[in-house]
Amino acid sequence: EAQVTQNPRYLITVTGKKLTVTCSQNMNHEYMSWYRQDPGLGLRQIYYSMNVEVTDKGDVPEGYKVSRKEKRNFPLILESPSPNQTSLYFCASSLHSAGTEAFFGQGTRLTVV
Amino acid sequence: GNSVTQMEGPVTLSEEAFLTINCTYTATGYPSLFWYVQYPGEGLQLLLKATKADDKGSNKGFEATYRKETTSFHLEKGSVQVSDSAVYFCAHLTNAGNMLTFGGGTRLMVKP
């Protein structure tokens, strides 16, 4: 089954404790991206990757890192999480670019206390 | 700058009512436009898209027409069902097509 898999689905952590949210897709898509969803703000793009070893900042990259060592994986890293990073996070992948249909994971709800 | 503005929800309708969710955008040029839908507890799914002016995207009874004169891409459906209850997001391509910019989302609630 074609899908985008995020882990974990839920996470509660403390300020400053490094964490990684994993994202994997099995569709051989070139383009992958991370969003955060906050009430009233819709989805805002954090980082995106056009292909392996190519990553770029989105609209809200501060406090986040990503890597794209393999085509299928695109982990999101919070080196020192803060409470303002409490949010619902979505990973998505598309065949070639942001203009082709995006397939989203089920989301990761992160709470930083 | 680039932005997408949607009508605030929630929009509450009875089954078989007519639906309109307004969406306007500001952008350089004429970017591709999209509607995505998010059902409870799930990620977003592409509902429909239009890639140039006057194009009409359609899917599952939903339609939206790319109007460059009014920079709008309003979503319509002639007869909604309870199963259409979801959050709907309007979006357009930005950054030379490398990113999607989303609106704030509009929650639709359809009552039997």
Rounded Cα–Cα distance for residues B73 and B92 (Å): 10
Residues 6+ apart with CB under 8 A from A39: none
pLDDT at B96: 77
pLDDT digits (tens, 9 = 90+) for A72-88: 999 999 999 999 999 99
pLDDT digits (tens, 9 = 90+) for A18-50: 999 999 999 999 999 999 999 888 899 999 999
Considering only residues B1 and B101, tell me which one the structure prediction assigns the higher pLDDT. Answer: B101
pLDDT at B80: 97
Candidate from A78-82, A95-99, A106-110, B95-99 with smallest mean pLDDT: B95-99
Residues 6+ apart with CB under 8 A from A67: A55, A74, A75, A77
Q: Mutate which of B42, B44, B51 to test chain A, going by most A C-beta atoms within 10 A?
A: B44
Given a cut of 80, whether residue B109 has pLDDT beyond it is yes
A61 touching B, CB under 8 A? no
pLDDT digits (tens, 9 = 90+) for B43-98: 899 999 999 899 999 999 999 999 999 999 999 999 999 999 999 999 998 877 78
Among chain B residues, the shortest Cα distance to A3 is held by B43
Given a cut of 80, whether residue A7 has pLDDT beyond it is yes
Q: What percentage of residues in chain B have a pLDDT greater than 90?
A: 77
Instruction: Give me the torsion for CA of A52, A36, A24, A28, rounded to 10°.
Output: -50
C-alpha distance from B57 to closest chain A C-alpha (Å)? 13
Residues 6+ apart with CB under 8 A from A40: B104
Given a cut of 90, whether residue A96 has pLDDT beyond it is no
Rounded Cα–Cα distance for residues A71 and A69 (Å): 7
Given a cut of 90, whether residue A53 has pLDDT beyond it is yes
